[in-house]
Structure 1
Amino acid sequence: MKSAKFTVSALALAAAATAADARDEIRIVGSSTVFPYTQAVAEQFANNTGSPSPIVESTGTGGGMKIFCGGVGEAHPDITGASRAMKLSEYELCQANGVTDISEALIGFDGLSIAVSRANENDWDLSLQDIYLALAARVPVDGEWADNPYKTWDEINPDLPAVEILAYGPPPTSGTRDAFVELAMHAGCEELDYVKSGGFDGDWVEENCSRMRQDGQFVEAGENDNLIVQRLEADPNAMGIFGYSFLFENLDKLKPVMIDGVEPNSDTIADKSYPVSRPLYFYVKNAHRGVIPNLDEFIEEYMSDEALKADGYLSERGLVALSDERRIELQDSVLNADAMAVPTN
């Protein structure tokens, strides 16, 4: 591994020095999906070094970006996790607040899972179109674009059970929500005959097919995925939407819903046969490197083979690992504090 290099301004270092004087713990915010991986690295780091365990908060991807981009210094976190790439608007917020040197780490892949309680008696297999028609705010009804009237699954597909549509999912601040809208809702909308025959393009789909329904069939469950598990146990017919890692950790209580005949697992997510998969990231504030106690060592642990390889401890928790070639490129880039490219959207 190459040693880290630091190309930060004297002003940024001076601001970050205040943080070093004020706190000993590394501060990390961001995605609820990335949270268990970062928490695992934090625990491993503390066990290996005897240093204070980093403080890891699950704030959601959007919320984490806002906090992370707030500035440099003691009041601002060192790292944020994200279940999607940083947006241009977030990057510009960082730049405006003096967070001008950021490293991006794509740590692996995750599938967006739909799951039910193991007490559910049905074997579920949904198409992307089924998912859209069940959960979207607006759908085709008798040839018109209208508010979603469907209350039971068999109303949208007669092959599905005659049970109430009820899904617990992430809020708008979550990267999981962003990814689910893009990968499941938009893709399902594009499968509709109404959209195909109408010749509607991607801009139309993004404008008209992004809203989740708000009449009780889809319920925003916050950033705590454990609450979704509790609700699924209380109502076996309800479904939950979260990252594969959380399903993986709760297979004793939950079972996956197949999408287009494919079950989410490490193999189907890695080979992209599972249709709803996404990359996972974290972002490092490079002005805090070499200043915040133990931050460099923590990043080295996160980038270690023991954490990131296919047989590493993060894969044991559900992370789908990068190829060896991509992992080595990632490790070199992050440990060298390479600056991220400007996002394109």
Structure 2
Amino acid sequence: MTTIEGRRLTQYAHGGGCACKIPPGELEEVVAGLTGAPHAAPELLIGLDTGDDAAVVRLPGAADGMAVVATADFFTPVVDDPYDWGRIAAANALSDVYAVGGRPIVAVNLLAWPREVLPFELAREVLRGGLDVAAEAGCHIGGGHSVDDAEPKYGMAVTGVARPDLLLRNDRGRPGMPLSLTKPLGVGVLNNRHKATGEVFAHAVDSMVALNRDASAAALDAGAVCATDVTGFGLLGHLYKLARASGVGAVIDSAAVPYLDGAREAVRDGYVSGGTRRNLDWVAPHTDFGAADEETRLLLADAQTSGGLLIAGEIPGAPVIGELVPAGERTLTIR
């Protein structure tokens, strides 16, 4: 069941997936002053300071030197099928743990539901989708929290573990490191087209539900120390945060960036979210776009939902799309 009184699930939300996030510039203003001393502590290995993907805290006295990874992520419907939405939201929440080199071990559901508008059998399907992806990840589901809300929202708060000496951080990039991207771009514009027209893009769903587990393990095996995942702020937004945190610049070879089939057509046909345009506006003052046309710029800033990992290092099977370079007048350069 994906229609309710002639309406589709995505039509009950003002935005879809990670495109409904608060814009990066506004978010940074909100958290300004909430980072660093006196809030920092030696055991807090990753906190708010660089806007990394998850919090990591060293366990005091742990014999094996393990650390706890904590994150939360939730959003409005990105597709009309409630089961697929649950799978996508779960994969997206788990991704933050993988992005810092961790392993998820337990999660709790976060569910907002307009109980007088949408039937609860849809909510059950959403939760079933999340449960199945968590099971694939070897992550327990231990309950959760729900609220009656005007808009449906779903996600997870996830706890994982990691080794403090084997973390992937967004502030460890150095000039000369290649940049590898583990999933193609374009789910944002395809999801926007789906919301507007009802067209179903199975290959976009397949990309979003794919766990970043293997990519994270491959990055650690390759000795990588720097990575982030590509979600609501788009490739350019997340790369800008990584480069800024690391004190470096970055060059992107636009011809090497992979895209999902139909993504360029979706941009040409005007299915670009407001979130993607805000991403582009945010990075534009820090980017030399060279000869990149508007279509390419929008795709590079496309607000991804459950996107891949952007890793500073060469990873088997992942295309190298650029490299980190010494800091210059502009943080990002597109060639």
Query: What TM-score comes out, normalization by structure 1 length?
Result: 0.23
Q: Answer 1 or 2: which has greater strand percent.
A: 2
TM-score (norm 2): 0.24
- The structure that has the greater radius of gyration is 1
